[in-house]
């Protein structure tokens, strides 16, 4: 276990000072949980949690600036040198009758009692930075050495207490790149009903953390084989064994997992990668003509399915719209035969802000096919170069890029506000996308007048424009 020793300068000075002030007041203070685990693994630590034998009211007397963030559960936030530090009184917990939170929290005096309530052994290690001493009553160091996730005590009891812990187990398999200890994994299917009581906000939060792993697929494989995924997004399970066309070496599930790992590191873009082929099982057909499978319209079906699921699991409107848009547009069927106007139309449809994420998704989608895709990647690289050239030239790609706006059109053409103005601007943008030199105020006014005259002669034109 020598490789898990903590260097004297590993704990930041402000954390040491917080612990020193608590110690001078006659109480114990320890760094606990994920920060100790990551410190031992040589990972960066962003959040430091301190456990103490001092009660919340005693902590409030030690520090001048204390926020009672969770005082009923023994947690306060100490503001020290401009930074917040969570300080939690050592505690035990009563029964979890609702599978989400303890019915009772009570304070204890020994660090070992506090560590006994934690979820996994690798998270049940405490470190006294003043005495430079580790407390590891559940052999978490051994599990760090083995690279395994093991529940503290009986896994069935830990999972019955808080259903979210089974999802956390899957997440740690991905973020720590560990394996699940056999007895811990065996207890997960029996805890799925308890997990169903967990709020969707908490589930979404765990999924977003999972997306930051180097290979999120490790977590989703755990979810698939233990029943967690069936409780969250059963449509994904329909991809398992769903055979694809000859251009893929994998079934839809394997392809999705490979695409997920090839994408990133942005969690929202990874959610789009996870959900991009959600509609394939529902649209799969066999073509007698080609003797192969087709998935016509799967991007639209998948986008609609994802939209509903993202709403249910409390993603923000902005996140949901972005993910759904990427799914709906993820088939980038570019060839060198596209004209510059065709590239501009593509940019106009996709949107300048979304084209970067979309091309990243397209690359991950190609890499996830499980076969040589050098030509496909080269085409995407060529498309990206053409897009960069168009953007550098400042060509009009949206209504705000036009040399004239709706107010000027109304003033010069004597028009009233209404949907017709929007349709007119859309028609002007179509012309400019085809021929950028038309983006001149006077020329656009002239084209608008011609369009209005044509509509007056044939009103059906206005309805179609």
The residues, ordered by sequence, that sit 6+ positions from 238 with a Cβ below 8 Å of its Cβ are: 281, 282
Q: Cβ distance 281 to 242 under 8 Å?
A: yes
Structure tokens at 324: 């759904």
Q: What is the topology classification, in CATH, of domain 2-146?
A: Beta Polymerase; domain 2 (3.30.460)
Q: What angle do CA 34, 36, 41 make, to 5 degrees?
A: 95
Q: What is the pLDDT of residue 396?
A: 94
Q: What is the pLDDT of residue 106?
A: 87
* Helix-then-strand count for the chain, H and E: 25, 13
Residues of the chain under the 70 pLDDT cut:
1-3, 94-101, 103, 458-465
Report the distance separating Cα 92 and Cα 109, nearest Å: 10
Give the dihedral of Cα atoms 64, 65, 67, 73; nearest 10 deg. Answer: -40
For residue 265, cis peptide bond before it (omega within 30 degrees of 0): yes
Q: What is the pLDDT of residue 1?
A: 43
Report the distance separating Cα 234 and Cα 231, nearest Å: 7
CB atoms within 10 A of CB 305: 18
**121-to-16, 131, 160, 334 alpha-carbon distances in Å:** 24, 22, 17, 50
- Tracing tokens 């959600």 back to the chain, one arrives at 278
Angle of helix 252-262 relative to helix 267-275, nearest 10 degrees?
170
SS3 169: helix
CATH architecture entry for 151-232: Orthogonal Bundle (1.10)
**350-to-279, 303, 354, 397 alpha-carbon distances in Å:** 20, 15, 6, 10
Q: What is the pLDDT of residue 461?
A: 57
């Amino acid at each position: 276990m020598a490789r898990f020793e903590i260097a004297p300068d590993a704990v930041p000075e402000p954390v040491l000072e917080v612990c020193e002030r608590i110690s001078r007041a006659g109480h114990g203070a320890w760094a606990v949980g994920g920060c100790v685990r990551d410190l031992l693994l040589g990972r960066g630590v962003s959040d430091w949690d301190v456990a103490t034998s001092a009660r919340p009211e005693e902590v409030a007397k030690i520090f001048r600036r204390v926020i009672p963030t969770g005082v009923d559960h023994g947690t306060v936030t100490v503001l020290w040198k401009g930074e917040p530090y969570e300080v939690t009184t050592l505690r035990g917990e009563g029964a979890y009758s609702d599978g989400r939170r303890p019915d009772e929290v009570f304070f204890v005096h020994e660090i070992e009692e506090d560590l006994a309530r934690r979820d996994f052994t690798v998270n049940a290690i405490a470190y006294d930075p003043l005495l430079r001493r580790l407390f590891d009553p559940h052999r978490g160091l051994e599990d760090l050495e083995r690279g395994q996730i093991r529940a503290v005590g009986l896994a069935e009891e830990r999972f019955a207490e808080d259903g979210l812990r089974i999802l956390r187990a899957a997440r740690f398999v991905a973020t720590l790149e560990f394996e699940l200890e056999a007895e811990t994994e065996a207890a997960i299917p029996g805890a799925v009903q308890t997990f169903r009581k967990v709020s969707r906000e908490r589930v979404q939060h765990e999924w977003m953390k999972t997306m930051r792993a180097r290979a999120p697929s490790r977590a989703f494989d755990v979810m698939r084989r233990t029943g967690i995924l069936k409780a969250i997004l059963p449509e994904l399970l329909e991809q398992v064994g769903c055979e694809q066309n000859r251009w893929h070496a994998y079934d839809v599930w394997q392809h999705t997992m490979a695409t997920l790992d090839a994408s990133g590191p942005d969690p929202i873009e990874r959610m789009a990668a996870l959900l991009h082929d959600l509609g394939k099982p529902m649209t799969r057909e066999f073509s007698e003509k080609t003797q192969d499978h087709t998935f016509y319209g799967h991007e639209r079906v998948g986008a609609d399915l994802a939209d509903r699921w993202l709403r249910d699991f409390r993603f923000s409107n902005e996140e949901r719209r972005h993910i759904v848009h990427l799914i709906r547009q993820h088939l980038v069927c570019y060839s060198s035969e596209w004209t510059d106007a065709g590239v501009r139309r593509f940019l106009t449809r996709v949107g300048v802000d979304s084209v970067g994420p979309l091309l990243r998704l397209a690359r991950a989608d190609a890499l996830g096919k499980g076969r040589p895709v050098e030509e496909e990647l080269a085409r995407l690289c060529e498309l990206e170069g053409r897009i960069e050239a168009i953007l550098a030239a400042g060509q009009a790609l949206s209504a705000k890029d036009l040399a004239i706006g709706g107010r000027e059109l109304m003033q010069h053409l004597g028009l009233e506000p209404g949907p017709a103005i929007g349709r007119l601007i859309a028609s002007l943008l179509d012309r400019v996308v085809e021929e950028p030199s038309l983006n001149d105020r006077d020329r656009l006014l002239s084209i608008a007048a011609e369009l209005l005259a044509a509509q007056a002669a044939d009103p059906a034109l206005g309805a179609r424009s």
